[in-house]
Each structure stands twice: as C-alpha cells, then as structure tokens.
Amino acid sequence: MNKKDIIICRCEDVSLDQIHALLEQGYTTFEDLKRLLRVGMGPCQANTCGPLIQREIAQFLGKKVEEIPIHKVRPLVLGVPLEKIAKGDDHES
C-alpha cells in the first residue's frame, strides 16, 4: 500500500508519507510533528495516532518505543455557552 494512502492521524488527515517526510528532514520528536502537522491536536487528543506516531519515530531512530517521549497533553479549553455569545457582554457599558 502507498504511504500516501495510509492515514495515521484521522482527526487532522495526516498520512504516513507526511510523517516520514518530516522524519527524514530531521524532525524526530512528537512535539516537532505536532507543531508542523497538528497531529495529536484533534478531538481524540492523540489517543488514536499517538502510539502509531511513537512507533514510527522509534523505527526511524532505531530505538525502542518506550524510549520515545509521548506528546505533552494540553487539555481542551472549556467552551463558551452560546447563550453568553448571543447576549453579548455588557462590560463595556
């Protein structure tokens, strides 16, 4: 199967080919890939793609998966109730 057809991060639609291209350019940490491809920033917060990306980095570097640090978890921000947006904010009056 073609690497372009293998989706690693479903939330951000990132292929195995994109991951390998950046690894070959020297971006060898999850945080590097996260900043460049947004992997791990979708709704699943890397619960699906995290282990897959860890494995790809480990294989590329010739290390064990356990040696590859996982991404930094930054919880999603709380949403704003639509009622607050609809009413507007009167702190300026």
Residues 19-31 pLDDT 10s:
999 999 999 999 9
Tell me how far the alpha carbon of residue 4 is from its chain's centroid: 17
Confidence grade of residue 33 (pLDDT, cut at 50, 70, 90): very high
pTM: 0.75
Specify the fold of 3-87. Answer: Arc Repressor Mutant, subunit A (1.10.10)
The two structure tokens encoding residue 5: 């057809």
Confidence grade of residue 86 (pLDDT, cut at 50, 70, 90): confident
Amino acid 90: pLDDT: 63
How big is the CA angle at 22 (ends 20 and 25), to the nearest 5 degrees? 115
Amino acid 93: pLDDT: 52
- Give the DSSP per-residue string, the chain: --GGG-EEETTTTEEHHHHHHHHHTT--SHHHHHHHH-TT-STTTTTTHHHHHHHHHHHHHT--GGGSPPPPP-PPPPPPPHHHHHH---TT-
Instruction: Please check the confidence at residue 80 and state whether its pLDDT lies above 90.
Output: no
